[in-house]
């Protein structure tokens, strides 16, 4: 609770925390909007495929021309590794790029804040290990749901509660798994023209809808907290905040969980499409279990919503502010050398599943596309099945037919085993599969 004081001391000493941002999209722009108002925090370099677009993003979020002129804008990622930059924020959303940029930062002795959850789920445990050996911090991004959920889990465990379940809310119906970018906007209540005028990417927004993003975020939480992944994948039970401790408890006690200690996503829609009462669409939660009768009595005395037994209760944050909160991760890494969530194990994986009958010769188009969606799977089951990670299911050609709903396997695609991203993923599997 002293980040602001630590930052003020750095500012007073004339040593601001200097940051490089890679990727000036929506998440990055939200972070940029806050930096002029955070004394002692300085964005020294912004790397983007289109530097002029990045300058326009800075103007859009309120930067003055003096601040823009004092910042280096570049398309070369090496600009992020310049001397004096302490923290690199990777916000591209591209798994291969994220891995490259993280490794370059680690080699340069810089801390890494990985906004790019796609890269984290593909190889994050290995990257975090490499960062620890190099004496720098690799961190999930505060403001995004995985880091916020990991914080709730850490709070619960540090106060002596058993974590029963943790995760987030989203808008979900089973039919969404097969939605493609061509039909995505009707589910957001928009026309294609309205979305285009707002600069909204249909494939990216479709990944939020079709379950892929939820799977990626739950895998990140499982890998950071040690919570287990449901054997059949996410169930997305409809559930409002008042019912969290009733629904998200073990089946033996009347809930939906296989057992205690799981990740799960709750839906803001009933299965017939009606809205859930007091939904958690934008928030995160943790369900905890009282360790004794006294603690259970305290739950009741202090107004916590519990299940009928009084032993299960929930804490939650109803909203997350994405990039507006990212400075917490940057400052935690630079000033306390502490991550806001970090993968420590390989427990959850996200694999490519066919959205329709796919034929040999077709090209996969990755998360949120027309061909596959990402399903959460236990890492051990993914390795046993030889399942293709969703992060590698982009611009690869099928060599076998895969039926609708089938898991795409490594042996079903043409894959370059010498590709650096593939090699990194294979190295991560080898390093963590026996743990």
For the cut 90, the answer to whether the pLDDT of residue 186 exceeds it is: yes
pLDDT band at 354 (very low <50, low <70, confident <90, very high): very high
For the cut 90, the answer to whether the pLDDT of residue 381 exceeds it is: yes
For the cut 80, the answer to whether the pLDDT of residue 72 exceeds it is: yes
Going from N- to C-terminal start, the domains of the chain cover 3-143+324-336, 146-172+211-320, 348-432
Kindly state the average pLDDT of the residues 298-306.
96
Q: Tens of pLDDT along 247-265?
A: 999 999 999 999 999 999 9
pLDDT of residue 411: 97
| Percent of all residues in the chain with a pLDDT value above 90, rounded to a whole number | 96
pLDDT band at 200 (very low <50, low <70, confident <90, very high): confident
Mean pLDDT of the chain: 97
3-state SS track over the chain: CCHHHHHHHHHHCCCCEEEEEECCCHHHHHHHHHHHHCCCEEEEEEECCCHHHHHHHHHHCCCCHHHHHCCEEECCHHHHHCCCCCEEEECCCCHHHHHHHHHHHHHCCCEEEECCHHHHHHHHHHHHHHHHHHCCCEEECECEHHHHHHHHHHHHHHCCCEEEEEEEEECCCHHHHHCCHHHCHHHHCCCHHHHHHCCCCHHHHHHHHCCHHHHHHHHHHHHHHCCECCCCCCCCCECEHHHHHHHCCEHHHCCCECCCCEEEEEECECCCCCECCCECCCCEEEEEECCCHHHHHHHHHCCCCECCCCCEEEEEECCCCHHHHCHHHHHHHHHHCCCCCCCCCCCEEEEEEECCCECCCCEEECCCCCCEEEEEEEHHHHHHHCECEHHHCEEEEECCCECCCCECEHHHECCCCCCHHHHHHHHHHHHHCCC
**3-143+324-336 and 348-432 share one CATH topology?**
no
What are residue 402's DSSP bridge partners?
A: 358
For the 3-143+324-336 domain, the top CATH level (class) is alpha beta
pLDDT of residue 435: 67
d(CA 328, CA 41): 11
For the cut 90, the answer to whether the pLDDT of residue 196 exceeds it is: no
Kindly state the average pLDDT of the residues 145-157.
98
pLDDT of residue 198: 74
Kindly state the average pLDDT of the residues 199-211.
91
pLDDT of residue 216: 98
pLDDT of residue 199: 74
Q: Tens of pLDDT along 86-115?
A: 999 999 999 999 999 999 999 999 999 999
Q: Tens of pLDDT along 216-250?
A: 999 999 999 999 999 999 999 999 999 999 999 99
Q: Are strands 312-317 and 363-365 parallel, antiparallel or unpaired?
A: unpaired
Q: Tens of pLDDT along 113-135?
A: 999 999 999 999 999 999 999 99
pLDDT of residue 403: 98
- What CATH number labels 348-432? 3.90.1210.10
For the cut 80, the answer to whether the pLDDT of residue 201 exceeds it is: yes
């Amino acid at each position: 609770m002293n980040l602001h004081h630590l930052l003020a001391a750095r500012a007073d000493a004339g040593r601001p925390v200097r940051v490089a941002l890679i990727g000036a999209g929506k998440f990055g722009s939200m972070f940029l909007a806050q930096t002029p108002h955070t004394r002692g925090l300085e964005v020294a370099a912004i790397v983007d495929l289109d530097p002029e677009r990045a300058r326009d993003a800075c103007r859009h979020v309120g930067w003055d021309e003096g601040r823009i002129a004092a910042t280096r804008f570049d398309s070369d990622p090496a600009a992020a590794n310049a001397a004096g930059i302490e923290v690199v924020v990777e916000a591209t959303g591209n798994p291969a790029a994220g891995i490259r940029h993280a490794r370059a930062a680690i080699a340069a002795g810089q801390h890494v804040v990985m906004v790019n959850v796609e890269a984290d789920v593909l190889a994050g445990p290995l990257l975090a290990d490499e960062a620890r050996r190099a004496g720098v911090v690799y961190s999930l991004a505060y403001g995004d749901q995985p880091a916020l959920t990991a914080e709730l889990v850490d709070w619960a465990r540090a106060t002596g509660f058993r974590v029963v379940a943790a995760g987030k809310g989203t808008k979900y119906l089973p039919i969404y798994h097969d939605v493609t970018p061509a039909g995505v906007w009707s589910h957001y209540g928009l026309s294609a023209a309205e979305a285009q005028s707002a600069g909204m990417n249909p494939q990216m927004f479709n990944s939020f809808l079709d379950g892929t993003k939820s799977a990626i975020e739950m895998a990140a939480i499982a890998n950071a907290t040690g919570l287990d992944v449901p054997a059949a994948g996410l169930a997305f039970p409809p559930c409002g905040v008042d019912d969290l401790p009733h629904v998200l408890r073990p089946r033996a006690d009347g809930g939906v969980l296989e057992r205690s200690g799981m990740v799960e996503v709750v839906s803001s829609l009933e299965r017939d499409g009606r809205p859930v009462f007091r939904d958690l669409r934008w928030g995160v939660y943790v369900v905890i279990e009282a360790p004794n009768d006294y603690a259970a009595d305290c739950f009741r005395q202090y107004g916590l919503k519990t299940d009928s037994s009084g032993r299960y209760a929930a804490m939650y944050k109803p909203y997350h502010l994405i990039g507006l909160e990212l400075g917490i991760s940057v400052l935690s890494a630079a000033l306390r050398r502490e991550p806001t969530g970090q993968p420590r194990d390989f427990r959850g994986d996200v694999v490519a599943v066919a959205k329709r009958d796919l034929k040999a010769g077709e090209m996969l188009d990755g998360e949120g596309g027309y061909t596959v969606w990402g399903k959460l799977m236990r890492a051990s089951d993914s390795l046993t099945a030889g399942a293709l990670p969703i992060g590698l299911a982009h611009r690869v050609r099928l060599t076998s037919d895969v039926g609708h709903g089938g898991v795409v396997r490594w042996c079903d695609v043409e894959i370059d085993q010498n590709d650096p991203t593939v090699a990194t993923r294979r190295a991560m599997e080898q390093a963590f599969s026996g743990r």
